[in-house]
Amino acid sequence: MYSTIKKASLGLFFAGAIAFAQVGTTAPTATVSVTVAAEAALVINSNVTLTSVGTNFADYTGNNTFTYFIRTGAASGTGSIVAKVTSDFSPAGGPSVASPVTASDTLKYTATVAAPGTAAAQQTISTASTTSVASFGSDAHSVKAGNSGSTAWVLSNDPLYQTGSYTATVTYTISAS
């Protein structure tokens, strides 16, 4: 009798384990979803030192490069790169964007950008507001490694500037929607 109960208990134990093993399937699935949003980033690859070459009082010129990354909305997305002088030339006595020595003293730039960007026309940069570097339309996509761009700078060479080294900070901002 004890042997029969033992065999019956052992049989029920294995039957329960087999029944448990059969719950579910052998290849269950899961759903993975993602929402891809508009996104943008910008890397300034080089600073610029302006130099005057050629005739006396030729304007100071120089270039810096950048790499942009962008994805705009498919239907009505837009994007932009803008620039602003956030710290004017210092020390005092030399060029100034906010308070030029003479009215014709300006800091200008001409941008170039690889597609899908559209470079803005030549701009006179300001300390008061941003100026356009590039714009992007709907469904714009850079390559994963980024697309190239540059700004070619021109600073008036006024004989009234005092000799010395002067530095300004230009802040670039990129956006996408």
| CATH of 39-176 among 2.30.40, 2.60.40, 1.20.120, 3.40.50 | 2.60.40
Q: Is 116 helix (H, G, I), strand (E, B) or coil?
A: coil
Residue 11 has pLDDT above 80, yes or no: no
Residue 2 has pLDDT above 60, yes or no: no
Give the pLDDT band (50/70/90) at residue 89. Answer: very high
From 12-21, 25-34, 120-129, the region with the lowest mean pLDDT: 12-21
Residue 145 has pLDDT above 90, yes or no: yes
Domain coordinates in residue numbering, the chain: 39-176
Mean pLDDT computed over every residue of the chain: 91
Residue 18 has pLDDT above 90, yes or no: no
From 22-26, 81-85, 132-136, the region with the lowest mean pLDDT: 22-26
Give the pLDDT band (50/70/90) at residue 4. Answer: low
Residue 1 has pLDDT above 80, yes or no: no
Strands (E), 12-165: 39-44, 51-52, 60-71, 79-90, 107-113, 118-119, 123-124, 131-136, 147-155
Residue 3 has pLDDT above 90, yes or no: no
Question: Residue 8's pLDDT is what?
Answer: 47
Q: Regarding predicted confidence, which is higher, 45 or 1? A: 45
| Neighbour count for residue 158 (Cβ, 10 Å) | 15
Can you tell me the mean pLDDT for 132-158? Answer: 98
Question: Residue 10's pLDDT is what?
Answer: 46
Question: In 3D, which of 94, 170, 67 has the Cα closest to residue 126?
Answer: 170
Residue 142 has pLDDT above 80, yes or no: yes
